[in-house]
Structure 1
């Protein structure tokens, strides 16, 4: 299991005190929406599904907090478009 962390503006994964994966966002609409700006994974870890797991963490926490998501990041736009059933529980704003 990945130990993703959250602080205002980003969800991330650290290994050896280095951020190796992160999703960054801006809070908009008076805190009711996360505008996801970027998804980054260290090249040495790509292809392992880390970005998808990180996105799932963001989506689950946003859902629990009744926060919608605006997908600005191309990775998130593609993930939402390719998996509508998986992400139907979150209000998605393209």
Structure 2
């Protein structure tokens, strides 16, 4: 699966351009990137894609020198499971 990366978004589209998976993490003051939305189309659920999206987002955020914040309900659960206690949860 090929994911496209933008400054505050990672997503996957089908061949027709329909978004099938997406995570949004807009910037906030103080070097924070807030993970506000994680979406996976029903056709892809149960394949670990949401977890992969959060993992990629956190990696990208940290590589950019920012701190992740988790407000999306899925991302909050992911952060707890993956011991992201140093993040702005």
Whether the TM-score (by the shorter chain) exceeds 0.5 is yes
Residue 45 (1) aligns with residue 44 (2) = yes
For 1:27-52, what per-residue CA distance to the aligned partner results, in whole angstroms no more than 9, with x for missing partners? 1115x111111111001100000111
For 1:3-56, what per-residue CA distance to the aligned partner results, in whole angstroms no more than 9, with x for missing partners? 2112243211111121100011221115x1111111110011000001111111
Residue 28 (1) aligns with residue 28 (2) = yes
Q: Indicate if the aligned counterparts of 2:25 and 2:57 stay in contact, CA closer than 8 A.
A: no
> TM-score if structure 2 supplies the norm length?
0.87
Q: Distance in 2 between matches of 1:59 and 1:9?
A: 11
Q: What are the ranges of 5 or more consecutive residues in structure 1 without an aligned counterpart? A: none
Task: Give the structure with the larger strand fraction.
Answer: 1
Q: What are the ranges of 5 or more consecutive residues in structure 2 without an aligned counterpart? A: none
Q: CA deviation at 1:63?
A: 1.4
Superposed CA RMSD: 1.5
